[in-house]
Structure 1
């Protein structure tokens, strides 16, 4: 009985530590893509996009990332290229992405590069309230910082680089 109690107490203690930790999740849309070839389904970043990717690195220069997540497109990977990151993991499914972060990255800092039609869905999937109704195809300068604790998340929205909304 004593061993059972000790095991239970240890498990409870570990669970409390895990749930007490918050995970920092930064979410950005990829930077401006090259639109010179309308037939290119996987374009690189444009010159303006490369500048914005550099601006992202400046904005996040004090954050030490443990991992990054990007879709299989060149533009999401290139948006993260300026950051110093141990590993970039490709994701396809938002639900699986959120499950992986909640399971394997508790207490860590990660960055996720998405698309105009997925960034707000990712915020929703973490359980935070959307700070913006929608992202248009022209919205490149927003960055979202989520603080995830257990099943709850809070989000702060900011802008970085050259303002896209003049």
Structure 2
């Protein structure tokens, strides 16, 4: 009986430790898109965007990712192309993205490629505070690192590559 009690106590302790792991989530907006064809509803990256993708790889060269998430668009996937990531998963909405990260990737290092109108919402959905009031259509050089533990996130904001606003 005593062994059973100790086993149950240890099981509860390890379950708490596992559920309280810190997950590192990096979030970027996709790099500059090709605007040469206004009729193209799913443009790839422009030449400037391809340079930014190389800058992103340099910035994150020491980070080992377990998984990445991208919307089902060319530009978000191409933004991740220069990173070494074993698995890239498409997401369509913020709730399913956050649920997937919290359920399946607790304690892991995750990359998210998003859009100007969703980056800050994703940060909030993961429990962080907006580090900026808004991202405009011209903001391409911000990167956010979140340390997520349970329903709270510590947010660090930085810039990489050539500053978009010169």
Q: Give, in angstroms, the shift of residue 88 of structure 1.
A: 0.3
Tell me by how many angstroms 1:7 deviates. Answer: 4.8
Which stretch of structure 1 is more off in the superposition, 155-164 or 12-21? 12-21
Q: Cα deviation per residue 1:37-90 (whole Å; 9 max; x = unaligned)?
A: 001000010000000011000000000000000000000000000000000000
Partner of 2:153: 153
Tell me by how many angstroms 1:126 deviates.
0.3
Tell whether 2:11 aligns with 1:16.
Answer: no
User: For residues 94 and 7 of structure 2, what CA distance do their matches in structure 1 show?
Assistant: 35
Partner in structure 2 of residue 56 of structure 1: 56
* CA distance in structure 1 between the aligned counterparts of 2:97 and 2:87, rounded to whole angstroms: 15
Listed as ranges, the matches of 1:17-166 within 5 Å are 17-166=17-166
Equivalent pairs, count = 166
TM-score, normalised to structure 2's length? 0.95
| Mean Cα deviation higher: 62-71 or 97-106 | 97-106
Dislocated runs of 4+, deviation >4 Å: 1-4
Q: Following the alignment from structure 1 to structure 2, what is the Cα–Cα distance between the partners of residues 165 and 35?
A: 18
The Cα of 1:151 is off from its aligned counterpart by 1.3
Structure-1-length-normalised TM-score: 0.95
5+ residue gaps in structure 2? Answer: none
C-alpha separation in 1, matches of 2:77 and 2:67: 13
Please report how far the alpha carbon of residue 17 of structure 1 lies from its aligned counterpart in structure 2 after TM superposition. 1.8
Structure 2: distance between partners of 1:5 and 1:141:
54
What are structure 1's unaligned runs of at least 5 residues?
A: none
- SS of the equivalent of 1:158 reads strand
